[in-house]
Chain A
Amino acid sequence: MSAPGVSLDVARELRSICGHDNVAERPVGGVYVCPGSTEEVAEVLTFANEHHLSIGPAGGSTERSAAELRTDIVLHTNRLTEVEHYDHGDLTVGIGAGATVAQLNLMVGADRLLFAGDPPMPDRCTVGGLLATAVYGPLRHGYGAVRDYCIGVRFVTGDGRRGKGGGRVVKNVAGYDLMKLLIGSYGTLAVITSASFKLFPSPRQTKTFLAEFATANEALQFRDRILRSPLSPVCLELVSPGARKLMRPEMTSDTWVMCVRAAGSDAVLTRYQKELGSVITRELEGDSEQRMWRAIQNFGYAGDGRDDARAPELIYLSVWPREVPDVVDTLLKQSALSGVDVSLIGRVGVGLLLVRVADKEAGTAAIHKLIVVLERVFGDKITLKLRGAVNPWPIPPTNLASMRAIKQALDPNNTLRGRNIF
């Protein structure tokens, strides 16, 4: 952190780049800046890089609150919202990093198209934030990860160079795939200023089938049956009894729920009904279906408010699909041992689990213990990320040396210091 006197000069310099109204001094020290174009982002980064100032990029603060950033400059992307290209016939869109996912959904939804990114709190989560954190929602099961449908990215490196990867077309192998490098890099290499995406036709109708089970194991056997069947649901979600109570406090049942969301015509939905069989206890459509999926999408957020210091800890676990039953079992045993309330949901078809530890104060120590146990028992069969942490990878990546080489190439002065991953 710079001395207060220096900070004043920084503010003046940044105002000369971005305009008076787009720079503010932060009560905690440092400066807030909202560039209005990629050129301005490049100038801000060049300035910071030359003066050895640190920058933390910020979007909608749904992953980590901007207030928590302790950098000389917080660079907010909220003015980078321009639509770069959109032709619904091409099923592609390019948009500024500061646009929210909800804004993007609204625009393409009008043409009956779907943007497959469904992060928590889409009315706050920005496109840039979605990419930087590689966060996902329940559509991850049927549509893949954002790395699968992001087709281009524009960015400014930590040392102020403007760069680009990919383009505007759905198939493109010209040059290095810099989308992959930046997605999930938590803003440590570059500030993403805009991105292009492949879109999907919006399903004309969907229906959600719910099946309840006494144990996680039985629910996961049902998952296996679906995975071996010809069905290809758009979402396949496991909800633990604890998670269910969090989402619907009036629920008292202790069952595990598998939620199968199908898209298609009446005939297709009837086929799902037939294949899933008598194990289905409820079917949801329309508003009640939407409400349920919104709750799942916002799991770990609903009512928490990310500016609240007591927001729960959330682990994003990626597990070999076959190991999910054992991982869930271990989580439950640890929860019982530590007495800390653990609830979970997950895109279990692809081995993804979201684990929530309710009380942050009690939870921090417990969650780290949990992580140690998971690492010891499952080794390379799992990977995990911790929401909102200064270092999102509590189990250090095995390739830190390669990561450092990349960091050195794009941000040699470590200007982008919103996270500390090394």
Chain B
Amino acid sequence: MPSPAVLAQLRKIVGLDALLDRPEDLMLYEYDGGVRKCTPAAVVFPQETRQVAQIMKLAGSAGFPIVARGAGTGLSGGAIAPEGGVVIAFARMNRILEVDAGNMRAVVQPGVVNQQLSDSVAHLGLYFAPDPSSQKACTIGGNVAENSGGPHTLAYGVTVNHVTGLTVVMPSGEILRFGGKAAECTGYDLTGFLVGSEGTIGIVTEITVRLLRRPENIATLLGIFETIDDGAKTVSAITAAGITPAALEMLDGWTLRAVEAACHAGYPLDAGAVLLIELEGLAEQVEEQAEAVREVCFQQKAREVRRAKDENERGLLWKGRKNAFAALGRLAPSYYSQDGVVPRTKIPAVLQFIEGISQKYGLRIGNIFHAGDGNLHPLILFDPRDPHQLELVQAAGAEILERCVEMGGSITGEHGVGLEKRNLMPLLFTDDDLDVMLSLHNAFNAAAVLNPGKLFPTTRMCRETSGPSTNPVLQAEGM
């Protein structure tokens, strides 16, 4: 916990109006989009990289942990402060520093909202491809920390595929520049390594991103199926037909009814599942692919395939998809969103498994997810005021993720490990694997000043047989 003297120093760095430490203010920063909570000791709002470096140095010398925060939309607890920690919020570092259309690049501060970047370059016919469902709120700094995805990553890749350079404040307080506007870097790909490191290696204060040209034509199709299984089988049938849609999303019948009630997107109320399929590119190519996708859908027993007639209809279909999580708020006080991944041919099997888990635990689980990538988002509804329910929900979630890993998949496709899934890391990684990652963590953040307690399991690794851990990440957890 930073002392009053340290808080005074922090105020001196960022300015009197750029630090919060009253309990009623701090409450807003104790949670993110996940289910964990912890009240920080203070929140600071730096306005420039130099201030972030000064804060970092102070944290190192005074011994308090810090965590960077964008909009707090993360779903894995990545931006939750540890006990006594200080949050560095990037709300005031939210400028687009440069748009370089000739080189298809933009340089932005971490607090720039994802959608805002695409909007600001739309007049140039450009956009930023990663599009998390929270893109109206989430920041590019947060996208970088978690290596965020979104529906259109099926064709265009996740955040790391669209970042070519970073300015980073390291735990030492040094300000470093990794990569730049060029497609290839000199030396190790430190930019690629930093993206998705969940704020445990350095704090990013400037980001150089790749911009893409908007496609000539877009077709948005809605494949309507009687059963989840038919919809699920269609996913790999589409890719087997040699088509890579820009996006391929699935909503089960139960979820789409909730979404329809909230958003009036035009989803059918009596379907077992729908696939939202988007095709982009040259007009000729889009038309051919749209026809081919229709055929595949009907071969897989689709009841109907609709096509958005105009931008308004397309917008409505996507509004339903992107606001789906919020729509479920009508059905239960809270939900627990999972982020498992399976090879796409295993989607039918894993959906059956999830149905079994729903029955086993007596919990309602909706499925709305990036089917094309095999990236599932089972949404488990619950009431957080009942501690027993939260335990059940977490156990059900863990079982689903275990099954994903058994099928050759992963515990997280785009949300990150954070606090939420750190103890599931041994499902994917051996002690040796984690040891290698830990040695890289300790190469830069050995004192665990930066975002302690994230990403690495707190359950003791086999090698540590007795006594308190010498591993600073685990020490921060009181292990």
Contacts and interface: CB of A to CB of B under 8 A. Distances in A.
The answer to whether A binds B is yes
Interface stretch (A207-215, A300-308, A396-404): A396-404
Contact of A169 (B176, B342, B430): B342
Contact of B183 (A189, A231, A351): A351
A406 B373 contact: no
B186 A410 contact: no
B109 to A, nearest CB: 20
A177 B187 contact: no
Q: Which of A171, A321, A400 has the most CB of B within 10 A?
A: A171
Given A161-B432, A178-B437, A350-B183, A144 B343 contact: no
B411 A174 contact: yes
Contact of B429 (A175, A189, A319, A408): A175
Nearest to B440: A409
B242 A201 contact: yes
Contacts of A204: 242
B288 interface: yes
Interface of A: 85, 87-92, 112, 134, 144-145, 147-148, 157, 161-164, 167-181, 183-185, 189, 200-202, 204, 227-228, 230-232, 264-265, 267-268, 270-271, 316, 318-322, 350-352, 380-385, 393, 395-400, 402-403, 405-406, 408-410, 421
Contact of A162 (B100, B149, B182, B433): B433
A228 B124 CA distance: 10
A402 B176 contact: yes
Nearest to A347: B183
Contacts of B182: 318-320, 351, 380-383
Nearest to A190: B436
Contacts of A170: 373-374
Given A161-B436, A173-B413, A176-B197, A403 B239 contact: no
B178 interface: yes
A34 B345 CA distance: 36
A318 B432 contact: no
Interface stretch (B89-97, B277-285, B330-338): B277-285
B413 A181 contact: no
B153 A171 contact: yes
A201 B187 contact: no
B412 A173 contact: yes
B158 A171 contact: yes
Q: Which of B187, B374, B455 has the most CB of A within 10 A?
A: B187
Q: Which of B102, B183, B184, B437 has the most CB of A within 10 A?
A: B184
B345 A90 contact: yes
A181 B149 contact: no
Contacts of B243: 201
Given A161-B436, A185-B188, A402-B176, 12 more contacts: A161-B432, A169-B413, A172-B341, A184-B185, A202-B242, A230-B216, A232-B282, A268-B288, A316-B184, A351-B182, A393-B186, A406-B440
Interface string B34-68: 00000000000000000000000000000000000
Given A89-B344, A169-B342, A405-B444, A163 B432 contact: yes
A177 B147 contact: yes
B102 A322 contact: yes
Contacts of A91: 239, 344
A204 B292 CA distance: 14
Given A112-B242, A265-B284, A352-B184, A184 B189 contact: yes
Q: Which of A169, A322, A403 has the most CB of B within 10 A?
A: A169
Interface stretch (B24-32, B353-361, B414-422): B414-422
Contacts, number: 253
B465 interface: no
A157 B188 contact: no
Q: Which range holds the interface residue count of chain B?
A: 35 or more
B282 A268 contact: yes
Nearest to B343: A90
B178 A399 contact: yes
Contact of B188 (A87, A184, A264): A184
B203 interface: no
B408 to A, nearest CB: 5
Contact of B187 (A230, A271, A399, A408): A399
Contacts of A322: 100, 102-103
9 contacts: A89-B240, A175-B425, A177-B196, A201-B244, A268-B284, A271-B284, A320-B103, A322-B100, A351-B103
Q: Which of B146, B153, B285, B373 has the most CB of A within 10 A?
A: B285
A97 to B, nearest CB: 17
B354 to A, nearest CB: 17
A174 B425 contact: yes
A175 B455 contact: yes
Nearest to A147: B192
Contacts of A231: 282
A230 B215 contact: yes
B187 A267 contact: no
Contacts of B161: 144, 148
A267 B284 contact: yes
Nearest to B372: A170
Given A148-B161, A352-B183, A169 B409 contact: yes
Q: Which of B186, B285, B288, B421 has the most CB of A within 10 A?
A: B186
Contacts of B137: none
Contact of A148 (B147, B157, B181, B213): B157
Contacts of B217: 230
Given A163-B433, A177-B147, A352-B184, A171 B192 contact: no
A149 to B, nearest CB: 9
Given A169-B408, A175-B425, A181 B184 contact: no
B206 to A, nearest CB: 14
B445 to A, nearest CB: 11
A162 B86 CA distance: 36
**Which 5 interchain pairs have the tightest Cβ spacing?**
A180-B192, A397-B187, A230-B216, A318-B184, A163-B436
Interface in B418-460: 421, 425, 428-430, 432-437, 439-444, 455
B414 A173 contact: yes
A387 to B, nearest CB: 14
A176 B410 contact: no
A310 B38 CA distance: 65
Contact of A172 (B236, B344, B412): B412
Given A147-B189, A180-B189, A351-B183, A173 B440 contact: no
